[in-house]
A and B are shown apart, each in its own frame.
Chain A
């Protein structure tokens, strides 16, 4: 029995890292901007579709024009996807930030509503461009397929994705804590007036932070696409766990979000293995249990969002 448990624990950990990756961009934007970005899922979806266009000949780019490009081997194309996906998502995110500007200073509810509307619009635009049907994202052979561990087969891609997610989490932490840019961003999360007083351009900081958060959503989209598949509605699957993780971890806390992500991953994986019919509910029950006793989540600080 205990031996049976081990693969599920590893699987849960892998899933948790992916969930944490999903939530990072969401966390950054909520922490610094105090905006609940409901379009996070759409930016995620944009990342996935852009990766599709970069990787697959039938992925939306004009094939005849791009033919020599698709002759490239898969690995360079995949690396391009990993860069272009987040770049496009980031650019769209910056556009969204420009729209959001007028809502600053009023009830944070307006930011939430604006991004809700933007999510509707982006999803419909994606439908216009790529249609409603399903796509697979082809990945290089080196990271696809399964491998055998003991008497079980496990997905190579998942291990790659989990390692990638862990790496991203590490890089982001270093960026936020060891670079001057990170310090400014963190200061912005703490007290935006202070940032202004120190002579930084707050307007530009917000634009860049939103773009950065959106790019993180885009990168999560590229990474999750081979696991979830690509459909216009796939963003909803991304934004809801991101939400839960942020509340669970506590708004504005980096390690809170990461540990909440891993916790959700473990809980979902274990319930899916042993109490499958409760696996979707388990995430919310966990949330309720934690938030009932710790009203700001695992590591949340008080913030203007409560006013």
Chain B
């Protein structure tokens, strides 16, 4: 199959691209305003990057197109808010609660999905996404429906000796950045572990993996659950950013948009695809949106053209460019530069 990640695994914890991403994201609040953008946009981008990286475990690595993943972002946001209001307003507790609760929802959902493939998998995720959406819309005592669960506080970072406030957007950004840094290291290791290798194999040919004796269902179940847990954390951060949890992200449209972002960035061929895609989406939306009322038309056209001519997205273009700039050396050393 032409479209896939570099086959070779790495054992490094930190690679060039990881370090680069840490530097770029780590310094972003210092320069984002001077390029004409604003701090909140940085927060939103980073949260969606976290969500998209988790989502790409499913879509890119395992080849499972979930069209209902926005629901889990929403569940995470509600879980964070409810944990804060009803149980214990402590940042760490609420973040963990969002992760665990969303993961549990994911685990339960995955029971219905783990033996599905391809389009049937996609269709079932749509059904589940819609079910969660309607429950959230209907169960107004808990979610406050269309009004949203409001006044969710940006809980301070409690480090025992000091408490750091998160009220400013740049401060919240650094919490998101910390989450991103940890997540990116863990996901990089995970995708380069034997577990990650099985996931990639499932994407290539599920039947063959099952023949070899791997419990394919268990792998699919666990990766779905993990991906939902990560969505829960992103949802929790999102609830803090917006100081509220809203139902809209749970809609089919937003679930579609996350697929669009990941694909446009090149999630099928690169670990970094989701990152590119999210940045492109939000910046295009912000910049185009300020000039034209029909930005979605232009963005849609761009997406269509990309799927037709360059289905492996921005990351694919980057690979091509690299290949053209420096002709590929012997394959033995090439794998180090993955991403």
Cβ-defined contact, B300 with A120, below 8 A: yes
Q: Are A284 and B119 touching (Cβ within 8 A)? A: no
Of B65, B120, B299, B307, chain A has the most CB atoms within 10 Å of the CB of B307
Are A251 and B119 in contact, CB atoms less than 8 angstroms apart? yes
Residues of B within 8 A of A183 (CB): none
Binds A, one of B189-197, B239-247, B255-263, B277-285: B255-263
Q: Contacts A103-B308, A106-B3, A306-B118; is A124 near B300 (CB within 8 Å)? A: yes
Q: Which residue of A lies closest to B311 (CB)?
A: A110
B127–A244 contact, CB under 8 A?
Answer: yes
The answer to whether B296 touches A124 (Cβ under 8 A) is yes
Interface residues of B in 104-129 (CB under 8 A from A): 112, 115-120, 122-124, 126-128
- Determine the chain A residues whose CB is within 8 A of the CB of B3 once the complex forms: 106-107
B169 contacts the other chain (Cβ, under 8 Å)? no
CB of A82, distance to nearest CB on chain B (Å)? 29
Q: Are A114 and B138 in contact (CB under 8 A)?
A: no
Given A108-B119, A120-B300, A124-B296, check contact A281 B134 (CB 8 Å).
yes
What mask results when residues 256 to 283 of chain A are scored 1 for a CB within 8 Å of chain B, else 0?
A: 0000000000000000000001001100
Roughly how many angstroms separate A250 CA and B276 CA in the complex, as a whole number?
Answer: 37
Contact of B127 among A251, A288, A307 (CB under 8 A): A288
For residue A103, which residues in chain B have a CB less than 8 angstroms away from its CB? 307-308, 311
B299: A residues at CB distance < 8 A? 120
A202 on the interface (CB 8 Å rule)?
no
Nearest-CB distance from A61 to chain B (Å)? 22
Query: Are the CB atoms of A116 and B296 closer together than 8 Å?
Result: no
Q: Which residue of B lies closest to A291 (CB)?
A: B124
Query: How far apart are A182's CB and chain B's nearest CB, in angstroms?
Result: 24
Smallest CB gap from B118: residue in A: A306
Flag if A121 contacts B307 (CB, 8 Å).
no
B300-323 residues with Cβ-Cβ distance < 8 A to A are: 300-301, 303-304, 307-309, 311
Please tell me if the beta carbons of B124 and A306 are within 8 angstroms of each other in the complex.
Answer: no
**Residues in chain B near residue A287, CB distance under 8 A:** 127
Q: Name the A residues within 8 Å of B263 (CB-CB).
A: 113
Once A128-B297, A281-B131, A284-B131 are accepted as A-B contacts, the answer to whether A306 and B120 lie under 8 Å apart by CB is yes
Nearest CB of chain A from residue B206's CB, rounded to whole Å: 8
Q: What A residues does B124 contact at CB under 8 A?
A: 247, 288, 291
Q: Which of A251, A281, A288 contacts B112 (CB 8 A)?
A: A288
Taken together as a complex, chains A and B put the C-alpha atoms of A125 and B151 apart, in Å, by 38
Cα separation A28 to B99 with both chains bound (whole Å): 42
Does A178 sit within 8 A of B, measured CB to CB?
A: no
Contact, CB under 8 Å: A240 / B252: yes
Query: Known contacts A103-B308, A295-B115; is A112 also within 8 Å of B127 by CB?
Result: no
Q: A95-134 vs B: 1/0 string, CB under 8 Å? A: 0000100110011111011101110110011011000000
For residue B315, give the distance in angstroms from its CB to the closest CB of chain A: 15
Known: A128-B297, A281-B134. A307 touches B117 (CB 8 A): yes
Contact A307 B118 (CB under 8 A): yes
CB contacts (< 8 Å) of B311 on chain A: these are 103, 106, 110
Question: Smallest CB–CB gap between B248 and chain A, Å?
Answer: 14
Interface residues of A in 168-207 (CB under 8 A from B): none
Query: A114 contacts B308, CB within 8 Å?
Result: yes
Q: How large is the interface on B (under 10, 10 to 19, 20 to 34, 35 or more residues)?
A: 35 or more
Query: Cβ of B294: which chain A residues have Cβ within 8 Å of it?
Result: 124, 127-128
* B120 and A305 form a contact (CB under 8 A): yes
CB–CB B122/A124 < 8 A: no
Query: Using Cβ atoms and an 8 Å threshold, which residues of chain A touch B171?
Result: none
Please name the residue on chain B nearest to A100 by beta carbon.
Answer: B308
A124 to B256, CA, bound (A): 16
B119 to A305, Cβ gap below 8 A? yes
Contact between chains at A121 and B304 (CB < 8 Å): yes
User: A285 contacts which chain B residues (CB < 8 A)?
Assistant: 131
Complex Cα distance, B120 from A306, in Å, reads 7
- Across the interface, which residues of A come within 8 angstroms of B112, CB to CB? 288, 292
Complex interface: chain A residues within 8 A of B222 (CB): none
Report the nearest A residue to B59, measured CB to CB.
A109
B130 adjacent to chain A (CB < 8 Å): yes
Q: Are A113 and B307 in contact (CB-based, < 8 A)?
A: yes
Q: Quick check: is A158 within 8 A (CB to CB) of the other chain?
A: no
Contacts of A246 in B (CB 8 A): 123
What is the CA–CA distance of A107 and B64 in the complex, to the nearest angstrom? 11
Residues of B within 8 A of A99 (CB): 304, 308
**Least Cβ distance of B295 to chain A in Å?**
9
A108 touches B118 (CB 8 A): yes
Q: Say if the beta carbon of A243 comes within 8 Å of chain B.
A: yes
A36 at the interface (CB under 8 A from B): yes
Q: Assuming A284-B130, A307-B117, is B123 touching A247 (CB within 8 A)?
A: yes
In chain A, residues 191-248, which have Cβ atoms closer than 8 Å to a Cβ of chain B?
236, 240, 243-244, 246-247
Q: Determine the distance from Cα of A292 to Cα of B260 in the docked complex, in whole angstroms.
A: 28
A243 in contact with B126 given A121-B297, A296-B120 (CB within 8 Å): yes
Closest beta carbon of chain A to B247's beta carbon, Å = 14
Enumerate B1-46 residues with CB–CB distance to A below 8 Å: 3
Q: How far is the CA of A109 from the CA of B313 in the complex (A)?
A: 14
Smallest CB gap from B251: residue in A: A236
The reply to whether A120 and B120 form a contact with Cβ atoms under 8 Å apart is no
Given contacts A118-B304, A128-B297, A292-B112, 14 further A-B contacts (CB under 8 A): A99-B304, A102-B308, A107-B3, A107-B63, A113-B263, A113-B307, A114-B308, A117-B304, A120-B299, A240-B130, A243-B123, A288-B124, A296-B120, A307-B117
- Which B residues have a C-beta under 8 Å from some C-beta of A? 3, 63, 65, 112, 115-120, 122-124, 126-128, 130-131, 134-135, 138, 206, 252-253, 256, 259-260, 263, 294, 296-297, 299-301, 303-304, 307-309, 311
Q: Can you list 13 A-B pairs with a CB-CB distance of less than 8 A?
A: A109-B65, A112-B122, A120-B297, A120-B303, A124-B296, A124-B300, A128-B294, A247-B124, A281-B134, A281-B135, A288-B112, A291-B120, A291-B127
